[in-house]
Amino acid sequence: METAFSALVGIFFAVAVYLLLSKHIIRILLGAAILSNAVNLLIFTAGRLTREVPPIIPAHLYMPDEATANPLPQALVLTAIVISFSLFAFLLVLTYRAYQELGTDDTEEMRVAEPADDAMPPMGY
C-alpha cells in the first residue's frame, strides 16, 4: 500500500516540477496546485496507511487495545489543504490581474518591475 502511494507521490512531484519549470504563469500555477497535492499525499503516506481500524478508544479503556489508523496526518493534511487552497485562489486572482495589467503571462516578458534597459548609476558628478 505504502509502496503504491510512494510511486504516486513521485509521479505527482515529477508532473509538478515539469509544470513549474514552464515560462507561462498559468502552467506554473497548475504545477503549484499539483505540488501541494503531492505534499498532502506525502504526509498522508508518511503517517502510515492502516485500513478499516478507526482510531476510537473503547468505553472501558484508556488506550485503544490494538493498532489503529493514525488520525494526526489527516489533521495535518486538512490544515495544508486549507492553506494551499486559499493561496491558490489568491494566486489565480493575482495572475489574472497581472495578465490584465501587463498583457502577458510569459515570465520572460514580465519586466515591468525590473526593466531590461534600467539606467546604470551615475559614475561621477
Q: Contact residues for another protein (CB under 8 A)?
A: 20, 25, 28-29, 32, 35-36, 39, 42-43, 45-48, 59-60, 62, 72-73, 76, 79-80, 83-84, 86-87, 90-91, 94-95, 97-98, 101-102, 107, 110-114, 118-122, 125
CB 41 within 8 A of CB 9: yes
- 3-class DSSP assignment, residue 106: strand
Phi-psi region of 15 (alpha: psi -120 to 50; beta: other; left: phi over 0): alpha
Question: In the complex with another protein, which residue's Cβ is closer, 53 or 79?
Answer: 79
**Least distance from C-beta 80 to another protein, angstroms?**
6
Closer CB to another protein, 53 or 89, in the complex: 89
How far is Cα 112 from Cα 125, in angstroms, rounded to an integer?
29
Nearest distance from C-beta of residue 78 to another protein, angstroms: 12
* CB proximity list for 80: less than 8 A, separation 6 or greater: 36, 39, 40, 43
Q: Interior CA angle at 75 toward 80 and 56, to 5°?
A: 165
* Beta carbon nearer to another protein, 2 or 53: 2
Nearest-approach distance from CB 2 to another protein, in angstroms = 10
CB of 51 to another protein, least distance (A): 18
Residue with cell 487552497: 85
